[in-house]
Amino acid sequence: MEKLRRVVKEIAYVQDYTKLSTLHQSLIPILSLASSLYRVVLSIRHYLYHFGFFSKHRLPVPVISVGNLTWGGNGKTPMVEFISSWLADSGISPLILTRGYAGGDEARMLTRHLRGKAVKIGVGANRAATAACFFKRHGYVDPRDYLVEGKWHEQKEGSWINSRKVGVVVLDDGMQHWSLQRDIEIVMVNGLTPWGNHQILPLGPLREPLTALGRADVVVIHHANLMGTLYVDRLDFSDHHSLQDTDIEIIRMKLKELEDKFGSMPVVVITEKDYDRDPEILRHLSPYKVMALCSELQIIPCRDNGDDDFKKLLKELVEVKVLGANQN
């Protein structure tokens, strides 16, 4: 299955199909048909939500959605962490809603990174139901309490920073979660491989057509400072992949090959999410040294705009969306 995923990914990110192997090319008609069916399903789903056949839940606090248009890692979790940490430091306690893929590796990572802050994390496929449980348990803050005369006023240290009440919901991987209304839509884009072959899943990497970008309030390009190519010897697995015994054996064979080639023991670097899915990987790969790479979102200044300007933009969007909802 992992080999098939790798083949499909290679097709999704190639521009010239003639350069593909015979095996790859033989899969294109099947993937193309599946993409057409998927596009039809998307259209029907959008129609049902647009005309009210499927209802959208409105939460009593502002909802900030962080999502993307393509499969795989696109920097959503670091952005969720960045926003939640800032909200907590501003005196507003956020509730992060995540689906909990692969046993909840992202939730465990967020819990570790945000330890000590007034941040709550809810895990479950039904985000509205999960949020309702937290509102019942902890209560929530009326957004008008921190929007004074239409403006967001940050609270003093100690005012709400220790409050149990939820002030804002941050929706992790929420762009395609249409059953929950959101006030701000943030879309993450990988600057190195933004749209692949521009095709819909599974022929391409797009979860929705590019026209869906029109729903975004903010588009964030990550890896913006990595446009060059850096070669490392690597083994790629699909996002949220759980390592099997065969995978460990493949990794060990590669390590032995590198050790023989260079005459020294290589160092293994895994992502923090890999570690959270299988902490035993550190023991399985002994005696090789294994390091877990922790990520943190940083705003790269552009035209004298930086962190503060991004936070100011989010504040202004919350003000506009919340006031507009209250007036309606």
Rg (CA), the chain: 22
pLDDT at 150 over 60: no
pLDDT at 328 over 60: no
Provide the residue ranges of all domains of the chain, joining segments of one domain with +: 63-225+304-327
SS3 of residue 118 by DSSP: coil
pLDDT at 100 over 50: yes
Question: CA 103 to CA 97: how far, in whole Å?
Answer: 15
How many percent of the chain have pLDDT more than 70?
89
What DSSP line would sit under 224-280, residue for residue?
Answer: TT--S----------TTPPP-HHHHHHHHHHHHHHHHHHSS---EEEEHHHHHH-TT
Q: Which residues contact 327 (CB under 8 A, 6 or more apart)?
A: none
3-state secondary structure 17-61: HHHCCHHHHHHHHHHHHHHHHHHHHHHHHHHHHHCCCCCCECCCC
Question: CA 276 to CA 285: how far, in whole Å?
Answer: 16
pLDDT at 102 over 80: no
- What 8-state DSSP symbol labels residue 222? E
Helix or strand (DSSP H, E) at 83: helix 76-89
Lowest mean pLDDT among 61-65, 145-149, 150-154, 232-236: 150-154
Average pLDDT for 27-39: 95
| Secondary-structure breakdown of the chain: helix, strand, coil percentages, each rounded to the nearest 5 | 40, 15, 40
pLDDT at 152 over 50: yes
Q: Which long-range contacts (CB under 8 A, 24 or more apart) does 21-28 make?
A: 28/203
- C-alpha 229 chain-centroid distance: 24
Q: Which of 6-10, 33-37, 85-89, 152-156 has the highest mean pLDDT?
A: 33-37
Find out whether 206 and 190 touch, Cβ atoms under 8 Å: no
- What 8-state DSSP symbol labels residue 70? B
Which pair of tokens denotes residue 145?
Answer: 């309490």
Predicted confidence at residue 184, as pLDDT, reads: 94
Average pLDDT, the chain: 85
SS3 of residue 147 by DSSP: strand
Q: Is the peptide bond before 78 cis (omega within 30 degrees of 0)?
A: no
Predicted confidence at residue 230, as pLDDT, reads: 42
pLDDT at 78 over 50: yes
**Beta-strand runs (E) in 118-237:** 120-123, 147-148, 151-152, 168-172, 184-190, 218-222
CATH number of 63-225+304-327: 3.40.50
Average pLDDT for 52-80: 91
Predicted confidence at residue 83, as pLDDT, reads: 96
pLDDT at 107 over 60: yes
Q: What is the pLDDT of residues 268-301, one digit of tens each?
A: 888 888 888 878 777 788 888 888 888 888 888 8
Average pLDDT for 306-323: 85
Predicted confidence at residue 194, as pLDDT, reads: 87
Question: CA 118 to CA 133: how far, in whole Å?
Answer: 17
Predicted confidence at residue 157, as pLDDT, reads: 47
Q: What is the pLDDT of residues 159-214, one digit of tens each?
A: 554 468 999 999 999 999 999 999 999 999 988 888 999 999 999 999 999 999 99
Which pair of tokens denotes residue 150?
Answer: 């239409």
Helix or strand (DSSP H, E) at 65: strand 63-68
Q: What is the pLDDT of residues 240-269, one digit of tens each?
A: 777 888 888 888 998 888 888 877 788 888
Q: Which residues contact 78 (CB under 8 A, 6 or more apart)?
A: 222, 295, 296, 297
How many percent of the chain have pLDDT more than 90?
44
Average pLDDT for 93-108: 83
Which pair of tokens denotes residue 274?
Answer: 């890999």
Question: CA 24 to CA 18: how far, in whole Å?
Answer: 10
